[in-house]
Chains A and B, each alone.
Chain A
Amino acid sequence: MWFPIVLLGVIGFAAYFLNWNLLLSLDFSVVWEYRMVLLKGLMLTLALTACAAVLGLFAGTVLAIASQSGFAPLRWIVTAFVEIWRNTPLLVQLIWIHFALPLVTGINTTALESGVIGITLQASAYFTEIVRAGIESVPKGQWEAAYSLALPARIRWTRVILPPALRTMIPPLVNLTISFFKGTAILSILHVSELMTVTNRISNVTFKPVELFSSIAVIYFVVGYLMSKGTLRVEYYLQKRER
Chain B
Amino acid sequence: MSAGQAAENPFIHCRGVSKYFGNFKALDEISIDIEAGEIVCIVGPSGGGKSTLLRVLNALEPIDSGEIQIDQIKLPGSRKDVEDIRREVGMVFQQFNLFEHMSIRENVTFAPRMSRKMSTENANELAENLLRRVGIAEQIAKYPNHLSGGQQQRVAIARALAMQPKAMLFDEPTSALDPEMVAEVLDVIRELAESGMTMLIVTHEMGFAKEVSDRMLYMSGGRIIVDSETQEFFQSVDNSDLNQFLSKIL
Contact = CB atoms under 8 A, between A and B. Distances in A.
Interface of A: 139, 141-142, 144-145, 147-152, 155, 159-160, 163-164, 167, 242-243
A48 B110 CA distance: 38
B86 A149 contact: yes
Nearest to B58: A148
A9 B84 CA distance: 79
B139 to A, nearest CB: 14
A141 B144 CA distance: 14
A145 B160 CA distance: 9
13 contacts: A141-B93, A141-B95, A144-B97, A145-B97, A148-B91, A149-B86, A149-B110, A149-B159, A150-B115, A151-B114, A159-B110, A242-B143, A243-B143
A157 B143 CA distance: 20
A149 B95 CA distance: 16
Query: Chain A binding site: helix, strand, loop or mixed by DSSP?
Result: helix
A149 B101 contact: no
A149 B101 CA distance: 17
A149 B90 CA distance: 7
Contacts, number: 63
A152 to B, nearest CB: 7
Given A151-B114, A155-B114, A242 B101 contact: yes
Nearest to A147: B60
Contact of A148 (B90, B99, B100, B145): B90
A6 B127 CA distance: 71
B123 to A, nearest CB: 13
A149 B111 contact: yes
Nearest to B113: A155
B60 A144 contact: yes
Given A141-B97, A164-B100, A148 B114 contact: no
Nearest to A155: B114
Contacts of A155: 114-115
B99 A145 contact: yes
Interface in B119-163: 143, 145-146, 159-160, 163
A163 B100 CA distance: 10
Contact of A145 (B83, B98, B101, B114): B98
Q: Which of A142, A242, A243 neighbours the largest number of chain B CB atoms within 10 Å of its CB?
A: A242
Contacts of A163: 101
Contacts of B163: 149-150
B99 A160 contact: yes
A158 to B, nearest CB: 10
Contacts of A139: 97
A91 B159 CA distance: 53
B99 A144 contact: no
